[in-house]
Structure 1
Amino acid sequence: MSLDQVVLFEESLSLAEMVSNSSIAIAYRESKNILEQDTEAQNMIARFAQMKEKYDEVQRFGRYHPDYHTVSTEIRKFKRELDFHEKIAQFKKAERELEKLLMECSRIIADSVSEQIKVPTGNPFFDESSCSGGCGSGGSCGCA
């Protein structure tokens, strides 16, 4: 390992520590702990996981499954209920904030090397363009 690589490694550890000690990361960990301690929320999450398994089974057959509409409606209603649970909503908000911070760090690092470097976000709403090719839709999304 060269001296440059050692310095780079130390700088990356320093950046990781700064992110980990940021108010955003602390808020994320606190909201996660609160969520994990909330029995009602944990029961709802477990119930949603069970419903998701049933939903995935129904999706294998699509509209031809006799319970397709019932299961699809139930899971959408329960997902909405889950999203409006106070502690779950707080956790999701903190999670999005941390994700945004990490994406910004990744973008800054990538741009410092070259603006041509693509930083995958996994979320098209955070990408600068909706598609950079390779979407497999044949250009129907507007990509070139």
Structure 2
Amino acid sequence: MLATLESVQILDTAERIAKMILNSDVVENYRQCLYKMKTSSETQKKIERFTKLKEQYEYVQRFGRYHPDYQTIMKETRLAKREMDMDENVANFKRAETELQNLLDEISLIIGRSVSESVKVETGNPFFETKHKVGCSTGGSCGCSA
């Protein structure tokens, strides 16, 4: 592929956008939450316990309710998952992860729509909605391109 001025400009713009994302508050919050989750010994114990129980759960699932430990493993796994999910560090990380994913989805939609309104953009979230769609019925007062 021959490099044209337009393709070089597109690559430069993409690189600038990537740097802006990496330097954003959303990414910084994500990194801090990930660090806290990874360095908290209490959180890691909960994650490890759930992981071990999940392996047992997957083994028991092969036999279904006929396995002698089926009820026990099912209950313990659900309790461990709840305990892990209720951990402050895990909950904060999941919120930060969702916030980052929403930012990336929004950027993907903006880029896709700049090419064409009919471009389909996979956001990974079937319920993702942008704040402003074309024809928002406010006459453009919201700032969108109505």
By how many angstroms is 1:49 displaced? 1.2
Report the AA paired with residue 16 of structure 2.
S
Larger Rg: 2
Q: Deviations over 1:7-64 (max 9, x none)?
A: 1011001001111111111011011111111011111111111111111122223333
TM-score under structure 2 length normalisation: 0.79
Match of 2:11 in 1: 9
Partners of 1:64 and 1:115 in 2: CA distance: 54
Matches for 1:1-144 after TM superposition, within 5 Å: 1-126=3-128
By how many angstroms is 1:127 displaced? 6.7
Partners of 1:73 and 1:111 in 2: CA distance: 47
Structure 2 gap segments, 5+ residues each: 131-146
Partners of 1:123 and 1:62 in 2: CA distance: 32
Judged with a 3 Å threshold, the aligned counterparts in structure 2 of structure 1 residues 67 and 32 are, in CA distance, closer, same or farther, namely same
Which secondary structure does the structure 2 equivalent of 1:50 belong to?
Answer: helix
- Structure 1 stretches of at least 4 aligned residues deviating more than 4 Å after TM superposition: none
Partners of 2:122 and 2:57 in 1: CA distance: 29
RMSD over aligned Cα atoms? 1.8
Structure 1 gap segments, 5+ residues each: 129-144
Judged with a 3 Å threshold, the aligned counterparts in structure 2 of structure 1 residues 53 and 121 are, in CA distance, closer, same or farther, namely farther
Contact kept? 2:33, 2:89, Cα under 8 Å = yes
Judged with a 3 Å threshold, the aligned counterparts in structure 2 of structure 1 residues 15 and 41 are, in CA distance, closer, same or farther, namely same
TM-score under structure 1 length normalisation: 0.80
Judged with a 3 Å threshold, the aligned counterparts in structure 2 of structure 1 residues 17 and 59 are, in CA distance, closer, same or farther, namely same
By how many angstroms is 1:120 displaced? 2.2
By how many angstroms is 1:121 displaced? 2.9
Report the AA paired with residue 26 of structure 1.
E
Match of 1:137 in 2: none
By how many angstroms is 1:3 displaced? 1.4
Question: In percent, how many aligned pairs have the same letter?
Answer: 47
Partners of 2:82 and 2:22 in 1: CA distance: 31
Judged with a 3 Å threshold, the aligned counterparts in structure 2 of structure 1 residues 10 and 40 are, in CA distance, closer, same or farther, namely same
Which secondary structure does the structure 1 equivalent of 2:124 belong to?
Answer: coil
